Amino acid sequence: MRTMRSPQRERTNEQWLAELRSESADGETVEALREHLRSGLTRALRPQADVSDADLDDFTQDATVRVLSQLASFRGESRFTTWAMAIGIRVAYTTLRRRRWGDRSLEDLGIDADASAAPAGARSARPGAAADRSDLFQALRASIDSDLTPRQRAAVLGELAGMPSAVLAAQLQTNANALYKLNHDARLRLRDALHRRGFSESDVRTFLLEASRG
Amino acid sequence: MDPSREQLAALVRQLAVTAPEELDCETVLRHVAAYLEATHADAPVAPELAMIRQHLDVCPSCLEEFEALTRAVESD
């Protein structure tokens, strides 16, 4: 026998919070949250060919648990449902990225997080070179080799290779926030290094303009 | 690993928008729903939310999730 599903009741943020805090895991509001996450994740993951219905069920379940565990961090800046969906999407994509990446390590990519820096100038661009794309790339490669710490280099190269941040953080024995800071510091250092190698911000903008024209 | 030209081009794009102060991915997750609603409402985006846009320009993962969130709420 098919069960008729009652239409979703509109709730304010305060009602969501109060009802979710007072309910058991099989309560009506938890079920409404689960349905909201399931339908949103279905739309969100539409372009992903490798997501099955079973995956959607798993993501929905994990996302529901995560949202319920983070109710205290909801500040009311947005609709509760949008906030919960953002958490659900983070849960789903973190799992998908790990699955797609498999068990490849930094070592498999030829990245050594302990390697010392190459001597400066080992791959130097022409000093004072014009903002030619090849020169810019050459200078950037040289800066990655010689101007970053080993961990900064591993963070930048790992991200460029598409390694998921959760996997990269684990490989570098750190957490997501520290990894972001490592990468941010590396980008600031690379930008300074490019300036020292004769590439101004205007050169970079010229490159971007050319790249946008194909 | 020797980065490809495509990877280097992506890095140059990130360097061009790198700011001295940036939000990390966890902070972005806490505020991205408010940012999305503000942009959908065509309302002025508060300065603290404007930093979300900067983060999305340098973080491909958060950008991918933001686009997914946009699809998720499109019929709400």
Distance from C-alpha of A115 to C-alpha of A113, rounded to nearest angstrom: 6
Is the pLDDT at A123 greater than 50, yes or no? no
Q: Among A101, A122, A154, where does a domain finish?
A: A101
Structural domain count of chain A: 2
Interface of A with B in 124-163 (CB under 8 A): 136-137, 140-141, 144, 156-157, 160-161
CATH number at residue A25: 1.10.1740.10
Residue of B nearest to A165 (CA): B61
In this structure, the number of other CB atoms found within 10 A of the CB of residue A105 comes to: 13
Is A3 part of a structural domain of the chain? no
Q: Is B40 on the interface with A (CB under 8 A)?
A: no
Query: What mean pLDDT is predicted for residues A22-31?
Result: 87
The residue among A42, A76, A101 that closes a domain is A101
Task: Give the helix, strand, coil percentages of chain A, each rounded to 5.
Answer: 65, 0, 35
Q: ipTM score of the complex?
A: 0.91
Query: Do A35 and A132 belong to one domain?
Result: no
Residues A138, A199: one domain? yes
For residues A169 and A186, state if they share a domain. yes
> B16 CB near a chain A CB, below 8 Å?
yes
Q: Is A190 helix (H, G, I), strand (E, B) or coil?
A: helix
Same domain for A175 and A205, yes or no, is yes
Which structure tokens are listed for A81?
Answer: 């449902």
| Residues A198, A120 share a domain | yes
Looking at the fold, whether A77 and A54 belong to one and the same domain comes out as yes
**A32 has a chain B CB within 8 A of its CB:** no
Domain assignment present for residue A4? The answer is no
Task: Please check whether residue A5 lies inside any domain of the structure.
Answer: no
Chain A to chain B, count of Cβ pairs less than 8 Å apart?
122
Determine the Cα–Cα distance for residues B24 and A139; give it in Å rounded to an integer.
Answer: 28
Q: Are residues A93 and A142 in the same domain?
A: no
3-state secondary structure of A124: coil
Q: Tell if the CB–CB gap between A93 and B64 is shorter than 8 Å.
A: yes
Any idea which residue has 């140059």 for tokens?
B12
Query: Domain map of chain B by residue range?
Result: 5-72
Q: Is residue A159 part of a domain?
A: yes
Where among A37, A67, A101 does a domain terminate?
A: A101
Worst-scoring range by mean pLDDT, A66-80, A128-142, A195-209, B34-48? Answer: A128-142
Q: Is B26 on the interface with A (CB under 8 A)?
A: yes
Residue A51 contacts B, CB cutoff 8 Å? no
Contact A85 B65 (CB under 8 A): no
Q: Where are the beta strands (DSSP E) in chain A?
A: none
pLDDT value at A3 more than 50: no
Residue A203's domain comprises: 107-212
Range of A7-11, A115-119, A150-154 with top mean pLDDT: A150-154
Same domain, yes or no: A125 and A205:
yes
Return d(Cα A137, Cα B8) in angstroms, integer: 6
Within a domain: A191 = yes
Please tell me if residue B48 touches chain A, with a CB cutoff of 8 Å: no
Handedness of CA A68, A74, A80, A86 (dihedral sign): negative
pLDDT band at A201 (very low <50, low <70, confident <90, very high): confident
Residue A10 DSSP label: P
